[in-house]
């Protein structure tokens, strides 16, 4: 099955900045520190990064790169145990919610905040519903661990929907579109690597000369119920929070920007973004994150 990117992006990318960004007037700020943190097979230097864990779970954390010196970790809740000069273990609280873990390096080299989302365990789903929110049923995994049902769901409330999940994306951008007007709480599944990927693509968009503060996320998480309702393939990675359909819309007009500068808004603009991502994937630091990518023409419901 091909994972999708609309422009749909479902390649998996990560950018690690090991130096303090030197900004000039008008240049896109990647919002990175001079060091990175490593956790759950990911490495990120973004000043805001997210991780998703179950209640009471432990998370191994490490600072990597950057200058020599003292590195510290402070958590607003949960237990922190030091495991080495730059290594820690954090034990998550039992209560669902969002907790901040702040990493500080030597002076003048920035800080990183890990937004740790303690999820609602999937075992609390009853009759395809989670606290009244329709989830549906995940397809059988067919022996492939990639398709195991998610272990938990992030609870989204009116109060936390605007929280940063990365420097340029917020939690509400990844909500399922199944019932946009429904009452809170709502629930979402989100993969850490998807956020790193989207940040990398946004940086590429800005490098191409389009000053966009975020990408327009047309569709990210889809519950199995919604995925079936719109007729998508049973194993769409949207259901696992690992895919996003996006387009570039720096002025929030509701349509793709003219990326190829030919005076028209059409599928060629989506293809130009896909081509740029393909070029990025040739770089060694991105090759680990190869996935799949699709390009979609405009319909009555969405732009290209």
The structural domains of the chain, with segments of one domain joined by +, span: 5-15+31-294
Distance between CA atoms of residues 66 and 86, nearest Å:
11
Is 150:121 a contact under the CB 8 Å cutoff?
Answer: no
Q: Is residue 96 a contact partner of residue 121, using CB atoms and an 8 Å limit? A: no
Gap between the Cα atoms of 285 and 300, Å rounded: 38
pLDDT of residue 303: 84
CB atoms within 10 A of CB 207: 12
What pLDDT was estimated at residue 13?
33
Please give the C-alpha separations between residue 101 and each of 72, 115, 154, 274, in angstroms, as whole numbers.
Answer: 10, 7, 17, 35
pLDDT at 26: 64
Report the pLDDT value the prediction gives residue 22, as an integer from 0 to 100: 33
**Which pLDDT belongs to residue 21?**
32
The model's pTM: 0.90
- Rounded-to-integer distance, Cα 187 and Cα 222, Å: 10
* Cis preceding-peptide flag for 185 (omega within 30 of 0): yes
pLDDT score recorded for residue 300: 85
**What's phi and psi for 139, nearest 5 deg?**
-70, 155
Tens digit of each residue's pLDDT, the chain (304 residues): 333 333 333 333 333 333 333 333 468 999 999 999 999 999 999 999 999 999 999 999 999 999 999 999 999 999 999 999 999 999 999 999 999 999 999 999 999 999 999 999 999 999 999 999 999 999 999 889 999 999 999 999 999 999 999 999 999 999 999 977 778 999 999 999 999 999 999 999 999 999 999 999 999 999 999 999 999 999 999 999 999 999 999 999 989 999 999 999 999 999 999 999 999 889 988 877 788 889 999 888 888 8
Model pLDDT, residue 290: 81
Q: Whole-angstrom Cα distance, residue 6 to residue 62?
A: 34
């Amino acid at each position: 099955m091909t994972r999708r990117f609309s422009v749909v992006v479902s390649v998996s990318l990560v950018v690690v900045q090991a130096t303090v960004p030197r900004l000039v007037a008008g240049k896109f700020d990647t919002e990175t520190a001079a060091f990175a943190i490593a956790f759950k097979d990911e490495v990120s230097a973004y000043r805001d990064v997210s991780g998703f864990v179950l209640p009471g779970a432990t998370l191994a954390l490490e600072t990597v790169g950057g200058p020599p010196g003292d590195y510290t970790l402070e958590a607003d809740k949960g237990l922190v145990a030091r495991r080495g000069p730059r290594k820690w273990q954090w034990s998550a609280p039992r209560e669902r919610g969002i907790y901040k873990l702040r990493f500080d390096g030597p002076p003048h080299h920035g800080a990183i905040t890990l937004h740790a989302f303690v999820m609602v365990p999937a075992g609390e789903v009853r009759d395809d519903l989670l606290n009244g929110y329709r989830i549906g049923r995940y397809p059988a995994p067919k022996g492939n661990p990639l398709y195991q049902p998610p272990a938990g769901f992030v609870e989204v409330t009116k109060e936390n929907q605007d929280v940063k999940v990365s420097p340029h994306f917020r939690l509400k951008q990844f909500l399922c579109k199944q019932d946009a007007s429904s009452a809170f709480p709502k629930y979402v599944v989100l993969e850490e690597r998807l956020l790193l990927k989207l940040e990398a693509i946004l940086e590429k968009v800005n490098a191409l000369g389009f000053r966009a503060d975020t990408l327009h996320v047309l569709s990210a998480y889809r519950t199995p119920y919604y995925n079936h309702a719109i007729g998508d393939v049973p194993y769409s990675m949207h259901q696992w929070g690992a895919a996003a359909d996006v387009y570039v819309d720096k002025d929030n007009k509701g349509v793709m920007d003219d990326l190829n500068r030919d005076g028209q808004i059409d599928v060629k603009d989506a293809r130009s973004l896909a081509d740029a991502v393909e070029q990025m994937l040739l770089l060694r630091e991105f090759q680990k994150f190869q996935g799949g990518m699709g390009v979609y023409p405009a319909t009555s419901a969405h732009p290209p």
